[in-house]
Amino acid sequence: MTKTVGVIGGMGPAATLDFLVKLHHATGARQESDHLRVITDNNPRHADRNAAMVADGPSPAPLLVATARGLAAAGAEFLVMPCNAAHGWAADIVGAAPVLFVSMIDAAVVAVQAAVPGARKVGLLAVEATQASGIYHRAFAATGIKVASPDMAAFMPLIYAIKRGDTGVEVRAAMAAQAQALVDAGADVILAACTEVPLVFAPGDIDAPVVSATDALVQATLKTARG
């Protein structure tokens, strides 16, 4: 028997759907009943993580906690959250939810180390809230890996364009250029550490190793569900 997954979603909705599709395909099911039971709250009403972390915006913590408790009450046996920035409030979820919370940050750091053993610097394609919270900086520092950040003045408009539904050629080219600039600055590997990034950027778009935090969370979800 596998454990039931609870997904704290909606940040943004398309990124949550991308995670669910990737989880579906990664399961390797031979028949319908082999798939995981997944309870998803794809709620776009969570407070803006960037405004909360770097400005004076309202905190997303209360709704994150309520969502976590609701999913557990609905039958989820563990929780995942396909939003890197919202992990700045992971402690609130862990402290309030009655079930295990699987960290996307921890999964992504392990995936980077596995993809590029001996990596010294990771290019972090992540939004302002993720950068400001230091969640990846601390996690990578514990492994001796340095972090390089993109040009946020150029990167953030790309993320908001993707959230508006623009995944066209210009946005894709601009995201690849952001990643390439990090490689040129010495990054050994690129981490797509915002769940909007994989909607327009994938391994092969630049000539350097690329790790997706979404994919890392998919693998951690499968491992946890299978116990």
Active site residues: 83, 194
Burial class, 213, CB count within 10 angstroms (exposed 0-12 / middle 13-18 / buried 19+): buried
**Do the Cβ atoms of 93 and 65 come closer than 8 Å?**
yes
How far, CA to CA in Å, does 153 sit from each of 44, 125, 159, 164, 184? Answer: 24, 13, 11, 18, 18
The structure tokens listed for 133 are: 């919270």
The structure tokens listed for 218 are: 């998919």
**Spatial separation of the C-alpha atoms in residues 60 and 87, rounded to whole Å:** 11
